[in-house]
A = this chain, B = another copy of it.
């Protein structure tokens, strides 16, 4: 066999690998912060398979951060818009990259491909790696959202509690070192007093600190963006999709009016 044949084989395999495995993931940052979108994209790309194509978007309009009940409702609309856009762009899976999983049910109903929420993905990962995890999040209100999600997803029995570090979402990236130290301090308290054996980071804006925290603390620190990307690849490569029956069954377009007309399909 000549060198040319060998090289040809390698190239051929490489290309077919690309074709077979290539997964287009549409990651939706439901707020309008371009900084956070960038950071989420970085985190996603760092851990994605080489052949995965990460598209990271945020709605043109909406809320600059998701910290309140009103923000959640507005973010859900942004998610719906971007699900539709991502579907048109040929996405193989979508990820809602905000820890409250805003609009996740609507997104699953709307999309023709799987949709993952980073909170659900992070809880599931924690359930595989540990027996009693803590969630560390930003603002106090987010602790109540998170408790609702833990119960909805059935992860409450393995969760020791939810703690807020009292930093607004957009402040997280202002002084990364300060953010790191704040998260670390809270995590050490949870380990010491609550006997937790893993930490879930409760905000997409903490994505870039997960690895460093894990090294520092010596226990798993789970960032939902990173694991949701892996789970999305897994589902797509197995051709698994959201059920077309039940609450996620697709629906006929409705004559939505006014501001919501673009959502009418």
A residues near B (Cβ < 8 Å) are 7, 10-11, 13-14, 17, 20-21, 32, 47, 49-50, 59-65, 67-74, 76-77, 80, 103, 105-106, 108-110, 114, 116, 120-121, 124-125, 127-132, 140-141, 143-145, 148, 151-158, 191, 195-198, 211, 218-220, 222, 226-227, 230-231, 233-235, 237-249, 251, 254-261, 263
Q: A13-B50, A230-B237 are in contact. List 7 more A-B contacts (CB 8 A).
A: A13-B14, A59-B258, A114-B128, A129-B240, A129-B241, A197-B245, A233-B234
Q: Which residue from chain B places its CB closest to the CB of A130 in the assembled complex?
A: B243
Partner of A151, one of B114, B151, B234: B151
Cβ–Cβ < 8 Å partners of A222 in chain B:
240
| Contact B235 A128, beta carbon cutoff 8 Å | yes
A121 to B129: give the CA distance in the assembly, Å. 12
20 contacts between A and B (CB under 8 A): A10-B14, A13-B14, A17-B50, A61-B260, A62-B257, A63-B260, A64-B254, A69-B110, A70-B106, A70-B254, A77-B77, A114-B129, A129-B241, A141-B246, A151-B157, A154-B158, A197-B249, A220-B242, A230-B230, A231-B234
Q: Shortest beta-carbon distance, A104 to chain B, in Å?
A: 9
Cβ–Cβ < 8 Å partners of A68 in chain B:
106, 109, 251, 254
A67 to B251: give the CA distance in the assembly, Å. 10
| Contact A248 B127, beta carbon cutoff 8 Å | no
Copies in the complex: 6
If over half of A's interface residues share one DSSP class (helix, strand or loop), that class is named, otherwise mixed; here it is helix
| Contact B69 A243, beta carbon cutoff 8 Å | no
| Contact A69 B132, beta carbon cutoff 8 Å | no
| Contact B77 A73, beta carbon cutoff 8 Å | yes
| Contact B154 A127, beta carbon cutoff 8 Å | yes
Partner of A70, one of B140, B148, B251: B251
3 A-B pairs closest in CB distance? A61-B258, A230-B234, A154-B154
Q: Shortest beta-carbon distance, A199 to chain B, in Å?
A: 10
Cβ–Cβ < 8 Å partners of A155 in chain B:
154
| Contact A116 B128, beta carbon cutoff 8 Å | yes
Cβ–Cβ < 8 Å partners of A239 in chain B:
211
Q: Which residue from chain B places its CB closest to the CB of A215 in the assembled complex?
A: B239
Cβ–Cβ < 8 Å partners of A50 in chain B:
13, 17, 20-21
